[in-house]
Amino acid sequence: MEQKDSKDDDVTEIRLDAKEAVVLFELLSRWSDLKAAYTPDKLCFESPAEYAVLNGLLADLEKQLTAPFKPEYRQILADARSLLAERWDDLTHRD
């Protein structure tokens, strides 16, 4: 996420492989959709800045990803989720 008017010279890069990027894109897209059935409650955020950062990250992903525009996107997403799910053995981080 790049802010041209920022006076802060410190930059942090986050690198994602294509599968991670697609999964994150789908999550952030769903969270930003006001019509979605499940979105984070406002209590999840301590500051509007957190939501702004997530929206900026989504905008960056939208500029870079081509997979969401492919006819086989749902399969690409399913494959990515399946592979990445192996890294996490619990459905949520809470019991």
State how far the Cα of 77 lies from the Cα of 21, in Å rounded to an integer.
10
Amino acid sitting at position 74: R
**What residue segments make up the domains of the chain, in order of their start?**
23-85
76-85 residue pLDDT tens: 999 999 999 9
Q: What is the 3-state secondary structure (H, E, C) of 62-87?
A: HHHCCHHHCCCHHHHHHHHHHHHHCC
Label residue 7 by pLDDT band (50, 70, 90).
low
Amino acid sitting at position 13: E
Q: What's the CA angle centered on 16, arms 93 and 20, to 5 degrees?
A: 50
**pTM for the whole thing?**
0.79
DSSP 53: H
State how far the Cα of 70 lies from the Cα of 61, in Å rounded to an integer.
15
